[in-house]
Structure 1
Amino acid sequence: MTKARFKTLDRRAFLGAATALGAGFALPAMAQSTIDAGMEVREETANTNMRRNISSFRALDWQPYFDNTKNGAILVDTISRALHFWSEDQTIYRLYPTSVPVSEDLTRRGRTEVIRKVEGPTWAPTPAMKQRNPEWPDFVPAGPDNPLGTHALYLSWQYYRIHGTHDTRKIGRKSSNGCIGLYNEHIKELFGLSMVGTQVLLI
């Protein structure tokens, strides 16, 4: 593919597209359509051209990943940087762009579940985070400076969450310390769709 054929979107256009995907995107359980395979998003700055690549950003079927959709099911693909949600009755499907851990050693994969839902979460760094970044605060209350955004889904793995972010530049990037981040409007919707007990698989 030539450079001329690549889609170059500014950040505002991508945010609009991402919002449309999350807020209004509902497909039957068996849908297998491609959203935008290999979509490239470029952000221009005065000094550098930063590039964010979301690969294979496409709808999936739940059946290869779960035995059933009891309590709903969340699949997080750390390679394509996308989160998929299916409701228990399979009538609702959502696909959201995400941030993923910044390095492989911070990435955890496998099966877990939502054990707690918090609107307006507070945040404290883990011991490992504090060791790496001693200048970080010990506690951040809910609000615009909180790294967990407006809503958080706590997983059965200690310190791991699916949460929002006020820093929209992180979405689509390897930018987290282990958690999965979504735009605040997307985590708000997922918060309402999911429940304590929703299945979660990270691949």
Structure 2
Amino acid sequence: MLNPYRLNPSRAAVALGALAIGVLAFSGAAGAAPLQLFPFFMTPPVQAAPQPQLQALPQVDEDGVAVELPARLKRQVVNYATREAPGTIIIDTPNTYLYLVMGHGQAMRYGIGVGRDGFTWSGVQSITKKAEWPDWTPPPEMIARQPYLPRQMAGGPGNPLGARAMYLGGTIYRIHGTNAPGTIGTRVSSGCIRLTNEDVADLYSRVNVGTKVMVLPMDRRADLGSLVR
């Protein structure tokens, strides 16, 4: 008597072939589109917040009036005699200039804002940290003087540190940008050195962590430098 559960050999081969094709099709689909198989295990990628473009930041004062820096405060290559090695930053506090030594008797000169009366300082430090669009956390000394200041502010165009910051040693001081370009060439800060956002981004791209920074006192005037024609 025939076993009703026994397949004809030819039919069995067809059935096994169909099963194999199905397995291959499934595995191929899984390899091609694994996200469709287990969508409930996947999380959408986190998109980084876009950074503001420097070109989009208007150079305006607090009243919205366009600011045009005087010619002497604009970024420029000047003749500058110094024994310091190329790559050194020299802060000429009394003349509100920052020099980046280039060697061969030349330097890139930037107009800066410096500390107001009673808040200037001098000495030698090095850049220990660099940050783009840095957050601002006012130090306790500043909070004590100005208790209305925020305890922390996220980086961005409205942040007092501007587009870039370079931190100096273990001090509270930084070389940073500003959202108040009209203060360049003045003595207004609590000791930090400020540049326009465009200039601080340029300087940031030229220096590294470890760069030597010399801050001259108010009673020592560096060579003003002559513009390279």
Shared fold by TM > 0.5? yes
Distance 1:200 1:144 in 2: 26
Which residue number corresponds to residue 83 of structure 1? Answer: 98
Letter in 2 for 1:15: L
Give the 3-state SS of the residue equivalent to 1:117 in structure 2: strand
The answer to whether the aligner puts 1:138 opposite 2:189 as a matched pair is no
Which residue number corresponds to residue 117 of structure 1? Answer: 130
Give the 3-state SS of the residue equivalent to 1:26 in structure 2: strand
Cα offset for 1:92? 6.7
Which residue number corresponds to residue 111 of structure 2? Answer: 97
Which residue number corresponds to residue 150 of structure 1? Answer: 163
Which residue number corresponds to residue 45 of structure 1? Answer: none
Which residue number corresponds to residue 192 of structure 1? Answer: 205
User: Whose helix proportion is higher, 1 or 2?
Assistant: 2
Question: Over residues 8-41 of structure 1, what are the superposed CA-to-partner deviations in whole Å (9 max), with x where a residue is unaligned?
Answer: xxx968427367x31xx234xxx2xxxxxxxxxx
Give the 3-state SS of the residue equivalent to 1:15 in structure 2: coil
Question: Over residues 49-100 of structure 1, what are the superposed CA-to-partner deviations in whole Å (9 max), with x where a residue is unaligned?
Answer: xxxxxxxxxxx3222xx3x33xx1000011001100024x659721111100
Identity of aligned residues (%): 33
User: Whose strand proportion is higher, 1 or 2?
Assistant: 1
Distance 2:70 2:93 in 1: 22
96 and 138 in structure 1: CA distance in 2 versus 1, 3 angstrom threshold: same
Mark the runs of 5 or more structure 1 residues left unpaired by the alignment: 1-10, 32-59
Q: CA RMSD in A?
A: 2.1
18 and 140 in structure 1: CA distance in 2 versus 1, 3 angstrom threshold: farther
The size of the alignment, in residue pairs, is 152
Q: Of the candidates 174, 186, 192, which is equivalent to residue 161 of structure 1?
A: 174
Distance 1:156 1:166 in 2: 24
Task: Specify the structure having the higher radius of gyration (Cα).
Answer: 2
151 and 13 in structure 1: CA distance in 2 versus 1, 3 angstrom threshold: closer
Mark the runs of 5 or more structure 2 residues left unpaired by the alignment: 1-64, 217-229
Which residue number corresponds to residue 49 of structure 1? Answer: none
Question: Over residues 78-134 of structure 1, what are the superposed CA-to-partner deviations in whole Å (9 max), with x where a residue is unaligned?
Answer: 1001100024x6597211111000123x22201111111111111011111101111
Which residue number corresponds to residue 77 of structure 2? Answer: 26
Which residue number corresponds to residue 88 of structure 2? Answer: 73
